[in-house]
Amino acid sequence: MTLLTINDIEIEVTKKNIKNIHLSVHPPNGEVRISVPRRMTDDAVRLFAIAKTPWIKKQQAKFENQERIPDLEYVSGESHYYFGQRYLLNVIYQSSNKSRVEIRNKKYIDLYVKEGSNKEKREKIMKEWYRKELKAVIPSTINKWEKIMNLTVGEWGVKQMKTRWGTCNPNAKRIWLNLELAKKPLHCLEYIIVHEMAHLIEKGHGERFKAIMDKYYSNWRNVKKELNGLVV
């Protein structure tokens, strides 16, 4: 992977064993990636990127114009999301060190923390809770799609990612899922799992990959648009 800069636009370029060029712009910050055939020269890649600059800027503008939620402070009254549903955070300070998070009345997320806990501590507790909740629902979804797709996922994990909803290592049969998926609707998580499992069959995002997605998850394009358009 190399980085290419065109008109102040930083582009991640990856050469692969593919026939066609694949250009993509990713939320939330408009990161640009180009996958090109290994035989393609650096000059040819640069010329392609220059030609596509107007389109790239148009896509990046869409992300810039999307509504943004303010940085979270993890204080009472904030809106937080749990599998697509909006909840109000209620921070409860206590003398005990036993912090916990609980859903109450399908409306509140109660965050129990030690008196004097700072923002970083409250955020850490919330993320640990999200990780636990996400990990609880992933195995059944993977198991479901292993049977449907006749595939085996060797290993999976959850981690915070800035620009991707998931990644796949086909050789190791390992997939990683973004922690932020704990805030999205469950069908978005399912779509990402199917997407990454499809990479166990086809590494790239070309026509063969799209055909695999069409076969197993025909609504994937709509869910992809929904996921990338969600503010939560």
Q: pLDDT tens digits for 73-95?
A: 999 999 999 999 999 999 999 99
223 & 137 share domain: yes
In angstroms and rounded to an integer, the radius of gyration of the C-alpha atoms of the chain is 20
Domain count, the chain: 2
Domain that holds residue 11: 2-65
136 & 54 share domain: no
Establish if 176 belongs to a structural domain: yes
H or E element, residue 123: helix 119-149
Domain boundary (65, 98, 115) is at 65
139 & 224 share domain: yes
Give me the helices (H) in 16-103, please. 42-51, 53-65
CATH code for the domain of 212: 3.30.2010.10
pTM: 0.74
Distance CA 73, CA 43 (A): 46
Distance CA 186, CA 74 (A): 23
Establish if 220 belongs to a structural domain: yes
In three-state secondary structure terms, 103 is: strand
Domain boundary (31, 65, 99) is at 65
Of 148-152, 204-208, 209-213, least confident by mean pLDDT is 204-208
